[in-house]
Structure 1
């Protein structure tokens, strides 16, 4: 029903810190329920996220990962990631609005959780200047059974939009998706350390 997950990187700062243990509800999206914009999800990324075939783990590594899967202490799956949902199937995404915000289905997102975003200055470094702000993204419609996910530490996250940054022309090949079948569940609470215990 629920399992702990160890946060391995700073891509979700300041919401999550390196080494945090979070509880993941694996039934959050059961029975037809789907992730929504703003949800923090754990998913098993496919090969598109690392650009190559997986190298089989040796027995010791496999055993350590199994322990991580069960306990949440130590490594989880071979490419298990935690990110925030930005948009779901059929939704259209682009960046940026005049004030530098992501736009989903024509409406700018309010993202108070974003930490250290890419530089953006209207008229000086935006989506019309040369060079273009790395915050800018070409318009894309999220495919069926897929989700666009990003890290809260936007400038330090190898996320679904990372390879598309600084582009203004559509390029379907630069996007990476979290597919419905690969989503493990929704992160609901920080379990450890105790002084960071809180709901998500």
Structure 2
């Protein structure tokens, strides 16, 4: 009896151990299956959004950004006329990390103090909404709260710019510029309305010597652009610091009917 009971106990114990082993194996298998299961989309979504926002911030800060053209000062190159759909342009920020803007380039820049006297903030007076707008600006969802302008570079530091020669052309260091992009300008009629007649042409200005590290900029729509000529009596003689330049306008992305590159011709005769 004792031997039989002992054997029975050993068999029962072995069965219990086997059952326990199987249970542990099943648990481990179940745990492994759980670990292999892909994470829920809703759990990953916040991570994906965060990564997208960080990438957008880096892109907008160091590579390029899209800007809306709000005015007609660069017509016909860039559309911003009243009642029409303003162009959205890509402004790349890489070129000027390795060199300065050149005559003929179309640039976006932060307006100096005298250029921003009539600028009003686009931000809400509500602190919460304003904070959300500032955050949106960092990732490119909201325009920056600054007076960003777009014009074409006409002359750079050390050059002397003025208008006009006897054909009404802008001169840089005494040489006339080739400006195929200008289609709208003030009247200039030799012998009738020039820079020397009693009724002077609206084209006339200067001469102005551009300080080193600055640029003289003008709109392609010469008769409707508050550019360097308009600010010639400020502390910078109408010029803008190169440090204010955000980047070079390179491409029109909207509307689709206007897709294309933005020309930056060599306007100074060699």
Partner of 1:27: 94
Alignment match of 1:106 (pick from 174, 181, 192): 174
Following superposition, the deviation at residue 27 of structure 1 comes to 1.2
1:64 Cα deviation after fit: 4.6
Q: Is 1:8–2:70 an aligned residue pair?
A: yes
Shift of residue 175 of structure 1?
3.0
Could you tell me whether the CA contact under 8 Å between 2:156 and 2:215 is conserved in 1? yes
Which 10-residue stretch deviates more, 185-194 or 44-53?
Answer: 44-53
TM-score by length of 2: 0.64
Choose 74-83 or 87-96, whichever is displaced more: 74-83
Partner of residue 97, structure 1: 165
Aligned residues: 192
Q: Which moved more, 1:41-50 or 1:79-88?
A: 41-50
Paired with 1:197 and 1:53, the residues of 2 have a C-alpha distance of: 29
SS at match of 2:182: coil
Verify the 8 A CA contact 2:119 2:147 in the aligned structure 1: no
1:124 pairs with 2:186: no
Tell me which moved more, 42-51 or 92-101. 42-51
Tell me, which stretches of 5 or more residues in structure 2 are unaligned?
1-62, 81-85, 263-270
- Aligned equivalent of 2:213, options 137, 145, 160: 145
Q: Select which of 115, 125, 135 maps to 1:49.
A: 115
Show the counterpart of 2:261: 199
C-alpha deviations, 1:37-76, integer Å up to 9, x for none? Answer: 11000000111113479769535467557646744x7644
More strand per residue: 1
Task: Provide the C-alpha distance between the structure 2 equivalents of 1:55 and 1:22, rounded to a whole number of angstroms.
Answer: 22
Provide the secondary structure at the position in 2 that maps to 1:117. Answer: coil
**Pairwise CA RMSD:** 2.5
| 1:176 pairs with one of 218, 227, 238 | 238
Bigger fraction of residues in helix:
2
Contact 1:163-1:175 at 8 Å conserved across structures: yes
Distance 1:6 1:156 in 2: 18
Where does residue 168 of structure 1 map in the other structure?
A: none
Please state whether the residue corresponding to 1:185 is helix, strand or coil: strand
- TM-score, length of structure 1 as denominator length: 0.85
Over residues 171-200 of structure 1, what are the superposed CA-to-partner deviations in whole Å (9 max), with x where a residue is unaligned? 675832221111000001111111111111
Gaps of 5+ in 1: 165-170
The CA distance in 1 between the partners of 2:253 and 2:210, in whole Å, is 32
